[in-house]
Structure 1
Amino acid sequence: MTLDVQNTEPIRLTQYSHGAGCGCKIAPSVLEKMLHSDIPKPLFPNLLVGNESKDDAAVFDLGDGTCIISTTDFFMPIVDDAQTFGAIASVNAISDVYAMGGQPLMAIAILGWPISKIPAEVAREVLEGSRKVCEQAGIPLAGGHSIDCPEPVFGLAVTGKLNKENLKQNKTAQSGDLLYLTKPLGIGIVTTAQKKGIVQQKHYDLAVKTMLTLNVIGSRLGNLPYVHALTDVTGFGLLGHLSEVCEGSGLYAQISFESIPRFPFLKDYINQKSVPGGTTRNWDSYGHKVSRIGEFERAVLSDPQTSGGLLITVDPAFQKDFEAEMSRLGYTLRPFGSLRSAGKSLIEVHS
């Protein structure tokens, strides 16, 4: 926890914000209304990925076989410690480049700070956490912009690159593809429990460790032709991001709840009403697209993830090759579902 440099009183960053991490994202249905425009869109033939497919980043074809990736992500504190907040926000932002199958090149900081409420030295710690993550990712924190803001906000604008043939999108899944997830669900539930003062330290530490893990594996996935689609799971929860994959690809999903990676201790926190507000907003936006499920399943599958894992679709003919490659890279992955050309609901959830 950060200390106030003037009176040594602990500064709990989460007390200065009304939302936390990716849980403060605008609900999918509301965002769709905001992005709608009747103005004809200009044609940019080299813009391979814009905002039409709700993908993780924009991609621009340079015409020489390579592409530039551009993305930005920022949010309010999800933890109280300043360095950890800066680090998590940075891991989360850089993930969008990995989710396109690319390699990050550099980052620019985005900082909003309530300078009359929180000392500037605390903001410096946020930036230090970001610098450490950027160094871990092998990129410079090359500059940025800051404003005086009512609530603390931090994130990055990240530029990346990839070979055009390695581009992965969220709308390119194919019927029969197997579904994989690289990080467990439950971040929002655990961090809400921390704000309520009921979380066990070992559970909180595991959630923080998960959020601090870079999705660097995405660069490797870009090289695998049997990986058909890729996206990261963040504020809309697994069901929200999976629905984008399904709708963009014209497919339906069948998933097994028991096979989905998740923290094993979530039920107790859910029973104590440790469910972030973003969960309800998420479900209200896309619940009609999902088969009937129980309250526990809904709380887990709609839970807003901050710095979540990568959602991967894989050609089933290459299941053994994919899982062996992931094992070699230190990941033990098993499919939790598959995609079909038809279904009763966009996403059917089975026990």
Structure 2
Amino acid sequence: MENFLSSCTSGGCGAKIGAKDLTGLLQEIPRKKDDRLLVGFDTADDAAVYQINEDQSLISTMDFFSPMVEDPKTFGKIAAANALSDIYAMGGRPLYALNIVCFPEKMDKKYLKEMLTGGAEKIEEANTVLAGGHSIYDHEPKYGLAVTGTLSNRKIINNNTPKEKDVLLLTKALGVGLVQSAVRVGLADKEIEKAALFSMQRLNKDASEKLKQYDVHACTDVTGFGFLGHLVEMVEKDYTAVVDTSLLPLLPKVYYFAEEYLATAGGQRNREFLGKKVPLANIAPAMQEILFDPQTSGGLLISVAADKAQDLLSEIQKDDPQAQMIGEIVKKEDAPIVLL
């Protein structure tokens, strides 16, 4: 009987089609204009927002991928947390979710049950309803969710609307892609793997609820395009982000794994897409790999008014102690990101 993970050539958010391949293609797709579609895919935001009345909008997203971990139940939890995160990043409240399932016909169906059970448990933790789904046979397992929620029209948090002098916060440690690479080659011990699994399974729900109470101007979750990819999306249009790399929260031994050249294919795609947009001459090669590393179910990257940043960080750290201030937003310079 085939092993749950053995058939998968790539997994997690590292399996995403690269931004370089998507950018031009998406602009050529025909689409109908609708003034009620407040957020579509023009700005690569985290979810679609569709106005239903003067006060409220629906927020909708979908996300799925193949496994990056051996245990199917754990994989189900990670995939569900990752899909729900897009709703949280924009300040929404998820209402219900639909399963998206691909599964090999000859694989033991106990794995399918465990995968779906893990997802259902994470959906329940989010106080969200599992309302159905769709499944097909495929060559490898894939799982995720389509999630629908609501949010106030006055409190939509976009991914690309920071303001000058904002402070940047990051709520989860970086490096899950590198840790998973280290697990596959036997370099990561159980405690390191456990830390990465805990991070990927953790909902961004608590941080999302807290940021609604503060003067947050922009937010996104850090996933397959890596820390730099998602930060470029946030600032490229109007501003520059200055980031102190020494302040970035990292999973245990991630820097060592990066030094051992355990970079992923997804990380390389991210590097190729950003090209020369971000100057890297003063950044050590290992840190570069961390900055490009695809994150599965990563943390929230928040741009908040400077006078509210410490208060918000203190609130978030009550549940997410690894959260840190990592930089600031300044006037637009030659590069969208300056790394210190």
Same fold (TM over 0.5): yes
Does residue 79 of structure 2 align to residue 89 of structure 1?
Answer: yes
The answer to whether the Cα contact below 8 Å between 2:258 and 2:287 also exists between their aligned partners in 1 is: no
Q: State the Cα distance separating 1:297 from its structure 2 match.
A: 1.4
Q: Quick one: structure 1 residues 327 and 87, their matched pair in 2 at CA, closer, same or farther if it must change by over 3 Å? A: closer
Contact kept, 8 Å, 2:167 with 2:329, in 1: the verdict is: yes
- Write the distance in 2 (CA, Å) between the matches of 1:218 and 1:323: 9
1:220 aligns with 2:209: yes
Selected match of 2:60 from 56, 64, 70: 70
Partner in structure 2 of residue 319 of structure 1? 309
1:166 and 1:222 in contact (8 A); partners too: no
Alpha-carbon offset, residue 343 of structure 1: 1.9
In structure 1, the gaps of 5 or more residues are 5-10
Are 2:167 and 2:303, in contact at CA under 8 Å, matched by a contact in 1?
A: yes
* 1:101–1:218 contact (8 Å) kept in structure 2: no
Q: One-letter code of the match for 1:231?
A: T
CA contact (8 A) 2:123 2:129 kept: yes
Alignment of 1:18 with 2:6, yes or no, is no
Matched letter for residue 335 of structure 1: M
2:250 is equivalent to residue 262 of structure 1: yes
Paired residue for 1:109?
99
Q: Which moved more, 1:264-273 or 1:254-263?
A: 264-273
2:235 is paired with a residue whose SS is: helix
CA contact (8 A) 2:172 2:323 kept: no
Partner letter of residue 213 of structure 1? R
Corresponding residue for 1:7?
A: none
- Verify the 8 A CA contact 2:211 2:312 in the aligned structure 1: no
Q: Offset at 1:210?
A: 0.5
Q: What is residue 251 of structure 1 aligned with on the other side?
A: 239
1:50 maps onto 2:34 in alignment: no
Partner residue of 2:141?
Answer: 152
Using structure 2 for the length normalisation, give the TM-score: 0.95
* CA deviation profile, 1:40-62 (whole Å, cap 9, x unmatched): x4221111110001001001111
Q: Does 1:60 align with 2:50?
A: yes
Question: Residues 338-349 of structure 1: matches in 2 within 5 Å?
Answer: 338-349=328-339
Structure 1 window deviating more from structure 2 (184-193 vs 195-204): it is 195-204
2:49–2:57 Cα contact (<8 Å) kept: yes
| CA-CA distance at 1:218 after TM superposition | 4.6
The 10-residue stretch of structure 1 (223-232 or 263-272) with the greater mean CA deviation from structure 2: 263-272
Q: 2:19 aligns with which of 28, 32, 45?
A: 28
Q: CA RMSD in A?
A: 1.6
Q: Which amino acid aligns with 2:42?
A: E
Query: 2:181 — aligned with what?
Result: 192
Q: How does 1:300-319 map to 2 (within 5 A)?
A: 300-319=290-309
1:142-196 CA-to-partner distances (Å, cap 9, x unmatched) read 1000001011110000011111112111011111111110000000000111122
Say which of 170, 177, 181 aligns to 1:181.
Answer: 170
Rounded to whole Å, the distance in 2 between the matches of 1:298 and 1:328 is: 30
Aligned counterpart, 2:269: 281
| Equivalent residue, structure 2, for 1:336 | 326
- In 2, Cα distance between the equivalents of 1:222 and 1:323? 9
Q: Note the alpha carbon deviations across 1:198-254, whole angstroms, 9 max, x for none.
A: 221110010000001000035424523511001000000000000000124x11111
Rounded Cα–Cα distance in structure 2 between residues aligned with 1:324 and 1:204: 27
| Conserved 8 A contact 1:72-1:155 | yes
Q: Which runs of 4+ in 1 moved over 4 A?
A: 327-332
- Greater shift in the superposed pair: 220-229 or 278-287: 220-229
Structure 2 residue ranges without an equivalent (≥5): none
**TM-score (normalizing by structure 1):** 0.92
Q: Compute the displacement of 1:13 (Å).
A: 2.6
